[in-house]
Amino acid sequence: MDILIQNIITGVATGMVYALIALGFALIWKSSRVANLALGQLVLISSWFTYSMLVQFKFPFWLGMILTIAFAILLGWLIERLALRPLIGQPILSLIAITLGLAYFLEGFTAFIWPQGQGNLPKVFPQTSIQIGPAMIQQELLWAAVISLILFILLSVFFKYHRMGIAMRATADDQLAVQACAVPVNRVFSMSWIFACVVAAIGGVLISSIAAINYGLVETGFKSFSVVILGGMESFLGCIVAGPIIGLCETFGGSQFGSSIKEVIPFIIIVIVIMIKPFGLFGEERIERI
């Protein structure tokens, strides 16, 4: 019984971190219908950047975080400016291919700047475990879950009520009509990439302060794909619901079938979801009036 509750709590909390990274994917999809395949690499590079700031340059934590966010903003802006903007108006497949190229570029670039391949961030959260009922849970996982939840609420409110958020959703529907309403689409796209990079950076810092920085982060990015596919590509709610589901499947699968199966489970879920519910749990269905 204790093990069961333990597994549930760990699974949900890990899933919330996946959900956080998945939010970064949903953001870009929501405003431009581009699938960002460089998700894990964005997490990787911003984690390494934080590592440089905190470990190599020994900046205090708050300064390191501010610099990391600034780096993420710059990164998002640069990516949109240099890689995506020249392709505006081209078929969506070219845009997705560019994000794939970006993924490999970022991975190579990271290996070039930080060749050590493995690093540890100083622990940000208290290391003690806390007792929830009969189960013990690492406090840092809980903190990560709480931060994911806060970001989810902030982003949802922004996209539902803010002028820019509404315009960003409109841009996904009709890029020409939105320009007829004097919405600067360039700014919409660069904002969505900046947001996504910031979210990825926050996710990166959370994960790598819990575990370690290595290429496994790229894989975490891939796991977040299964979150967005299960939750529905553009739905923040989908991310926050599907994240824990994936997390739970992983922990339970791991405890039932051993840890080698654990890694595969998110991808099995992708296949099953695409077969039976292609729009995901909360995804927007394509509107077809008959």
Binding site for other proteins (CB under 8 A): 89, 163, 166-167, 169-170, 172-174, 176-184, 284, 287, 289
CB of 88 to other proteins, least distance (A): 9
Query: Which is nearer to other proteins, 186 or 256 (by Cβ)?
Result: 186
Query: Which is nearer to other proteins, 137 or 167 (by Cβ)?
Result: 167
CB of 182 to other proteins, least distance (A): 3
Backbone angles phi, psi at 90, to 5 degrees: -85, 165
CB of 132 to other proteins, least distance (A): 39
CB of 191 to other proteins, least distance (A): 13
Query: Which is nearer to other proteins, 58 or 289 (by Cβ)?
Result: 289
Calculate the alpha carbon distances from 290 to 277, 278, 287 in Å: 21, 21, 10
Residues in the chain: 290
Q: CA 194, CA 78: separation in Å to the nearest integer?
A: 9
Rounded to an integer, what is the distance from CA 61 to the centroid of its chain? 22
Query: Which is nearer to other proteins, 23 or 233 (by Cβ)?
Result: 233
CB of 63 to other proteins, least distance (A): 34
CB of 186 to other proteins, least distance (A): 9
Query: Which is nearer to other proteins, 43 or 167 (by Cβ)?
Result: 167
Query: Which is nearer to other proteins, 155 or 205 (by Cβ)?
Result: 155
Query: Which is nearer to other proteins, 275 or 287 (by Cβ)?
Result: 287
CB of 177 to other proteins, least distance (A): 4
